[in-house]
Amino acid sequence: MTCFFRCVRHVHVAASALKKPNRFYKVSLFVFTSVKKIESKPLAYAVCQEWNAQDKVIRLDRMLLTKLSFTVLDNPLLLKNNVIDNIMKYLDTDTILYLCGENEKLKELQKCHWGPILHWSNACFLFILHCRFLVKIFCLVAEISDESREHIRHALNGYNFPALVGIEFAVESVKSLLLVLAALSCRISIKDCADFALLEQRFQTDVWGKVEWAHDVEFEEIVSRLSAGVLFAYFMSNVFHSRNM
């Protein structure tokens, strides 16, 4: 865990508007780093709150929006297509495309919770996910057509680069692109998204019991990371500017 001692007296946001339509918000840390520029005002305030919530020792693991902002600002050579390629890698192993073929109760539970997300994905994003399942190593494997991949890539291409960074962070947390897209579209809540991602683990703990602190901490960690990624993507893909006419 990375920690360093705080030398920030006060953190604030200052809006900067030039004659050009571009506008950004400066997060002044008064620390040995340069001023950070963020395009979204709500995100700038959220980053400030993360810094103001720190005590004598700064816990970077609790400043997820700050880390995502730094990722966007400190990677000028990273291209939008690179991020989309990284996100698309999770499609073939997407959590909700794989049903357990060994346990009938678990399979029915997965169909109940994951089925509506698949149907919504087909209808909303014009995916063509023909889930023709093949029994293979006690799992049911979904086949994804090339046309489906193009539809998904097209949907991702509608987001800007910073939003894609947030989406990638969220997808890495739950190992599911489709669940994150559903959460971004407010189809499911963040808590439900995390529950669906951990559905098999939840089923196993109901059968065999759980270590209270271990499983609870893991769940809250996933919710935290997922929330940060989705919120960051929402803020950065919904940047509005107002002007006096």
Per-residue pLDDT for 23 more than 60? no
Reduced to 3 states, what is the DSSP secondary structure of residue 128?
Answer: coil
From residue 196, how far is each of 37, 62, 175, 202, 225 by CA, in Å? Answer: 36, 24, 11, 9, 15
Q: How far apart are CA 107 and CA 139, in angstroms?
A: 10
Q: How far apart are CA 98 and CA 199, in angstroms?
A: 12
Question: In which band, very low, low, confident or very high, does the pLDDT at 189 lie, cut at 50, 70 and 90?
Answer: very high
Q: How far apart are CA 130 and CA 135, in angstroms?
A: 15
Question: In which band, very low, low, confident or very high, does the pLDDT at 22 lie, cut at 50, 70 and 90?
Answer: low
**pTM for the structure as a whole:** 0.80
Q: How far apart are CA 90 and CA 136, in angstroms?
A: 19
Residue located via tokens 């920690």: 3
67-75 mean pLDDT: 88
CA angle, 178 then 224 then 71, to 5°: 80
pLDDT over 70 for what percent of the chain?
71
What is the pLDDT at residue 196? Answer: 94
Q: How far apart are CA 115 and CA 69, in angstroms?
A: 34
What is the pLDDT at residue 62? Answer: 85
Per-residue pLDDT for 226 more than 80? yes
Q: How far apart are CA 3 and CA 65, in angstroms?
A: 16
Per-residue pLDDT for 193 more than 60? yes
Beta bridge partners, 195, equal: none
Between these two residues, 61 and 208, which has the higher pLDDT value? 61
Spell out the domains of the chain, with CATH numbers in brackets.
Answer: 3-59 (no CATH), 80-237 (1.10.3580.10)
